[in-house]
């Protein structure tokens, strides 16, 4: 492998077809598809979906970020729901599946790096409460703790909540959220989410959080 290609892919192991094609072409390689197929056979590339790969350097072992994979498998998207709730320390059980919200249709990808699922969210709610998280491998978009909880409450089906007491029980018993972590929530985000979504459930969530903040 050309040294400049190796250096680039060590730094950016999550790579799409267009980037690999440009790298190989610029360094004098022909028959690009054959070269990519050879790299896959040699274990240098793992396919996540058509046109998206993870590069495995034979010289440096790099652990690829699941969060960055999640953002790139389907876009626009941000990590939310169960995975984000655990990430922010609101729920106790670790979550293997990386859960995200997208303005596109719901979809699930099963990859060698795990399962990545996406639920649809309306464009009007997409940007609210989303944070840019920095990591050694780059930045990724994730719901802040307020947004993650709102997303989970809003999208949970088959649950009727008509009081603050019912919402509190749902948070504690169904979602297993540690309520001690809710006292410093940004209530403006929750209030705005309720207004945009017109969700009665999120309205009750806002009322419960408001009571806790007193």
The list of the chain residues with pLDDT below 70 reads: 1
Exposure string over 188-210, b if 16+ CB within 10 A, otherwise e? ebbbbbbeebebebbbbbbbbbe
Confidence (pLDDT) at 214: 73
User: Rounded to an integer, what distance in angstroms lies between the CA atom of residue 62 and that of residue 93?
Assistant: 26
- Residue the block writes with tokens 């945009």: 196
**What pLDDT does 38 receive?**
95
| pLDDT value at residue 53 | 97
The predicted pLDDT at position 144 comes to: 98
Look at residues 136, 154, 141, 130 and name the one whose alpha carbon lies nearest to residue 74.
141
How far are the Cα atoms of 36, 75, 101 from residue 119, in angstroms, in the given order? Answer: 32, 12, 5
Which pLDDT score, from 0 to 100, does residue 60 have? 85
Please report the pLDDT score of residue 61 as a whole number.
Answer: 83
């Amino acid at each position: 492998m050309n040294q400049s290609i190796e250096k680039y892919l060590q730094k950016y192991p999550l790579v799409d077809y267009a980037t690999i094609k440009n790298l190989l072409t610029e360094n004098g390689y022909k028959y690009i598809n054959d070269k990519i197929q050879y790299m896959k056979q040699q274990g240098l590339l793992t396919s996540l979906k058509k046109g998206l790969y993870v590069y495995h350097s034979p010289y440096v072992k790099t652990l690829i970020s699941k969060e960055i994979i999640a953002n790139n498998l389907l876009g626009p998207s941000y990590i939310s729901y169960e995975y984000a709730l655990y990430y922010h320390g609101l729920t106790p059980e670790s979550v293997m599946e990386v859960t995200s919200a997208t303005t596109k249709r719901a979809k699930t990808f099963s990859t060698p790096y795990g399962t990545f699922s996406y639920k649809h969210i309306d464009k009007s709610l997409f940007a609210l409460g989303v944070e840019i998280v920095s990591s050694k491998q780059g930045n990724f978009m994730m719901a802040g703790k307020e947004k993650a909880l709102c997303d989970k409450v809003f999208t949970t089906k088959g649950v009727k909540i008509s009081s603050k007491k019912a919402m509190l029980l749902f948070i504690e018993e169904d979602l297993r959220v540690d309520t001690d972590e809710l006292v410093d929530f940004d209530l403006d985000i929750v209030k705005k989410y309720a207004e945009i979504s017109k969700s009665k459930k999120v309205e009750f969530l806002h009322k419960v959080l408001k009571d806790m903040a007193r």
